Amino acid sequence: MQQLLGNNYKSKQEIYSLIDCNSFYASCERIFNPRLFSKAVVVLSNNDGCIIARSDEAKKIGIKMGEPYFKAKNIIKKNNVQVFSSNYSLYGDISQRVMEILSRFSPEIEIYSIDEAFLKFDGINKGDLYDYCHNIRQTIKKWVGIPVSIGVGNTKTLAKVANRIAKNDKKRKGVCILLDSAEISLELANLDVAEVWGIGKKLSKFLKQNNICCANDFVQRDRRWIRQHMGVVGERISMELLGFSCLSLEMIPNLRKNCCVSRSFGSPVETINDLSESVACYATRASEKLREEELVTSVMSLFLLTNHFNKNDPQYSNSVKIQFDYPTNDTIIIVKKALQGLRKIYRPGYRYKKAGVIMLDLSIESNIQGLFETDRIKSKSLMKSFDLINFRYGSDTICTAAEGVKKLWSMQRQRISPCYTTRFSDLLKVKS
């Protein structure tokens, strides 16, 4: 078999697990608000637009993913569903805590998204896997308060399949170990091909036209046929489902190509003053992101646009590219240049819906040497103090005056919960 497959496929039996937080955003809201347990909870997208997370109870009532909030208002009211604006400071912080715990259980970890990670379990006896996974679940529940589901398989794709079973089949108690070949075939026969990781809606439509309905039909199909119609990506999925690992863990995140910060305004913005404040805020946040990842930018793009869905309003959109004298991540320099750029593209008489900045041409800070050395060292130590103060006393303790104070343009988040873990003033108060 190995010869047949070539060197790209490893025949050594590896063990992958996928750990996924259950209804992550809704679960985060519950940690500090025990009254929400066993109640239906939903979380809204930016500007309270659509439903982007639902607890199990909310799913059962029939609230749909991605549904606009205003459309779901009746069903929400009737069932006393608890509604929250998205609180990314909270979710990001809780995610970091979960990932930190996970990394104690295996040195090989790939953080796949805010609420999902792959761990490799090489060296753990098969017989011990179930207890090991339960230990992970209990530790995360006890230390952070988030319920997780764990799926285990010989490949990342099979770990995904197992995770789905762990989540949907309550008898499994949150853990599914899928290593037995007879059990794998059975589960693949029960799995709609559209649900296989990497296949998606469009490909599954094509597959169904060719009589491939479940994942088992897919792996039974001749590999040459798959390669011919789906290329090497499809072939890889098929191999992974057969238990041959083709996708290894990506432990070092790929270097970012750009860094974008943009938001829709809570209500239309018309004046250059309000626009300047928002652009200064986005430029500040983008600079912080660059510093967090020790990157610098040499070109920035700035854009603004009106709401083209609003047919009655005159429309305008524009963008401008701004070059820096040297690669930087200095908030003061970036904000200043962004505001210069804004003055170039701003036109009065329009109702703006959105603005944003994109940092382009990123490079690693420590690789930049030579030009403007003294300026860069001065800027670096100033920014270090900036970040330290904001870390210690909460974000926005120190900021550029350009960001403004009232921020009338900012996002609508009428139902946001406190930032329990990242802002001192929001710490939970306990009364006795």
- 43 near Mg ion (CB under 5 A): no
- 29 near Mg ion (CB under 5 A): no
Structural contact between residues 63 and 51, judged by C-beta atoms closer than 8 angstroms: yes
Please choose, out of 15-23, 48-56, 170-178, 416-424, the segment that lies near Mg ion by the rule CB under 5 A: 15-23
What pairing do the DSSP bridges indicate for beta strands 295-306 and 148-153? unpaired
Closer residue to Mg ion, CB minimum distance, 113 or 181: 113
**In degrees rounded to 5, what are phi and psi of residue 278?**
-65, -45
Closer residue to Mg ion, CB minimum distance, 43 or 300: 43
Structural contact between residues 193 and 213, judged by C-beta atoms closer than 8 angstroms: yes
CA atoms of 195 and 271, how far apart (whole Å): 48
Please choose, out of 18-26, 91-99, 328-336, 345-353, the segment that lies near Mg ion by the rule CB under 5 A: 18-26
What pairing do the DSSP bridges indicate for beta strands 175-177 and 148-153? parallel
**Tokens matching residue 380:** 């670096």
CA atoms of 91 and 19, how far apart (whole Å): 16
Closer residue to Mg ion, CB minimum distance, 159 or 338: 159
Closer residue to Mg ion, CB minimum distance, 53 or 281: 53
Q: Which residue has the tokens 């050594």?
A: 12
- Each residue of 177-195: b (16+ CB within 10 Å) or e? bbbeeeebeebbeebebbe
Q: Min. distance of Cβ 21 from Mg ion in angstroms? A: 5
Q: How many C-beta atoms surround the C-beta of residue 130 within 10 A?
A: 15
Q: Min. distance of Cβ 166 from Mg ion in angstroms? A: 12
Closer residue to Mg ion, CB minimum distance, 24 or 303: 24
CA atoms of 256 and 378, how far apart (whole Å): 26
Q: Min. distance of Cβ 102 from Mg ion in angstroms? A: 14
Closer residue to Mg ion, CB minimum distance, 20 or 288: 20
**In degrees rounded to 5, what are phi and psi of residue 414?**
-75, -20
The edge-to-edge listing of strands for the beta sheet with 175-177 is 109-113, 116-120, 16-21, 148-153, 175-177
Q: Min. distance of Cβ 149 from Mg ion in angstroms? A: 8
Structural contact between residues 412 and 80, judged by C-beta atoms closer than 8 angstroms: no
Q: Min. distance of Cβ 140 from Mg ion in angstroms? A: 13
Please choose, out of 13-21, 152-160, 309-317, 326-334, the segment that lies near Mg ion by the rule CB under 5 A: 13-21
Binding mask 362-401 for Mg ion (x = CB under 5 A): ----------------------------------------
Q: Min. distance of Cβ 429 from Mg ion in angstroms? A: 30
Q: Min. distance of Cβ 162 from Mg ion in angstroms? A: 15
Q: Which residue has the tokens 């104070």?
A: 405
**Tokens matching residue 197:** 């990781």
DSSP bridge partners of 252: none
Q: Min. distance of Cβ 56 from Mg ion in angstroms? A: 12
Closer residue to Mg ion, CB minimum distance, 27 or 287: 27
Q: Min. distance of Cβ 94 from Mg ion in angstroms? A: 12
**Tokens matching residue 171:** 């008898």
Please choose, out of 21-29, 90-98, 203-211, 280-288, the segment that lies near Mg ion by the rule CB under 5 A: 21-29
Q: Min. distance of Cβ 29 from Mg ion in angstroms? A: 14
- 20 near Mg ion (CB under 5 A): yes
Binding mask 280-319 for Mg ion (x = CB under 5 A): ----------------------------------------
Structural contact between residues 193 and 199, judged by C-beta atoms closer than 8 angstroms: yes
Closer residue to Mg ion, CB minimum distance, 115 or 240: 115
Residues 104-123 that bind Mg ion (CB under 5 A): 115
Closer residue to Mg ion, CB minimum distance, 24 or 121: 24
Closer residue to Mg ion, CB minimum distance, 110 or 115: 115
Widest Cα–Cα separation across the chain: 70
CA atoms of 70 and 312, how far apart (whole Å): 22
Structural contact between residues 342 and 300, judged by C-beta atoms closer than 8 angstroms: no
Residues that bind Mg ion (CB under 5 A): 20-21, 24, 115
